[in-house]
Amino acid sequence: MDTDKKTSGASLATPQDKPLISIIMPCYNAAAYIEEAVSSVFGQTIKNVELIVIDDGSTDQSLKLLASLKKNHPQILILEQTNKGPYPARNRGLEQARGEYIAFLDSDDYWADDCLEKLLIKLTTVDADLSYCGWQNIVENGENGPPYVPPAYEKEDTIKHFLNGCPWPIHAALVKKAIVKKIGGFSTHHFSSMDYDFWLRIAAVTQNITQVPEVLAYYRWHDKGQISSIKWRQVLDAWSVRKTFISANPELLAHLPRETLDSLLNAPLSRQAYEAFWRRDLVSAQKLFRTILKNNTWKMGDLKYIMLSLLPLTLFKWLVGHR
Based on the fold, state whether residues 96 and 217 are members of the same structural domain.
yes
Give CA–CA dist 178/123, Å, rounded: 14
Based on the fold, state whether residues 58 and 153 are members of the same structural domain.
yes
Give CA–CA dist 276/283, Å, rounded: 8
Q: Is the pLDDT of residue 231 over 50?
A: yes
| Percent of the chain as helix, strand, coil, to the nearest 5 | 50, 20, 35
Contacts of 300 (CB under 8 A, 6+ apart): none
Kind and range of the H or E element at 203? helix 194-205
Distance of CA 191 to the CA centre of its chain: 10
Give CA–CA dist 21/51, Å, rounded: 9
Q: Which of 189, 221, 253 is the last residue of a domain?
A: 221
Alpha helices in 227-257 (DSSP H): 231-248, 250-253
CATH number of 78's domain:
3.90.550.10
Q: Which pLDDT belongs to residue 181? A: 97
Give CA–CA dist 253/117, Å, rounded: 34
Q: How many CA atoms lie within 13 A of 78 on its CB side?
A: 23
Q: Quote the domain boundaries for residue 143.
A: 3-221
Based on the fold, state whether residues 11 and 142 are members of the same structural domain.
yes
CA distance readout (Å), 321 to 58, 271, 278: 41, 21, 11
Burial of residue 38 (CB within 10 Å: 0-12, 13-18, 19+) is buried
Beta strands in the chain (DSSP E): 7-8, 21-27, 49-56, 76-81, 101-104, 110-111, 130-139, 173-176, 209-221
Q: Which of 221, 242, 265 is the last residue of a domain?
A: 221
Q: What is the DSSP letter of 146?
A: P
Strands 173-176 and 130-139: antiparallel
Based on the fold, state whether residues 133 and 249 are members of the same structural domain.
no
Based on the fold, state whether residues 200 and 244 are members of the same structural domain.
no
Based on the fold, state whether residues 166 and 46 are members of the same structural domain.
yes
Based on the fold, state whether residues 208 and 270 are members of the same structural domain.
no
Based on the fold, state whether residues 65 and 183 are members of the same structural domain.
yes
Based on the fold, state whether residues 15 and 135 are members of the same structural domain.
yes
Based on the fold, state whether residues 253 and 287 are members of the same structural domain.
yes
Q: Which pLDDT belongs to residue 9? A: 39
* Contact predicate 160/257, CB 8 Å: no
Based on the fold, state whether residues 217 and 238 are members of the same structural domain.
no
Which tens digit of pLDDT belongs to each residue from 169-189? 999 999 999 999 999 999 988
The whole-chain average pLDDT of the chain stands at: 91
- How many domains does the chain contain in total? 2
Q: Which pLDDT belongs to residue 199? A: 97
Q: Which of 221, 253, 278 is the last residue of a domain?
A: 221
Give CA–CA dist 321/304, Å, rounded: 16
125 band by pLDDT with thresholds 50, 70 and 90: very high
Please give the order of strands across the beta sheet that includes 7-8. Answer: 7-8, 76-81, 49-56, 21-27, 101-104, 173-176, 130-139, 209-221, 110-111
For the chain, percent of residues with pLDDT exceeding 90 = 83
Q: Which pLDDT belongs to residue 222? A: 67
Which tens digit of pLDDT belongs to each residue from 269-301? 999 999 999 999 999 999 999 999 999 999 999
Q: Which pLDDT belongs to residue 119? A: 98
Which tens digit of pLDDT belongs to each residue from 37-78? 999 999 999 999 999 999 999 999 999 999 999 999 999 999
Question: Which of 243, 224, 240 lies closest to 232, judged by CA?
Answer: 240
Give CA–CA dist 98/269, Å, rounded: 40
Q: Which pLDDT belongs to residue 3? A: 43
Based on the fold, state whether residues 105 and 9 are members of the same structural domain.
yes
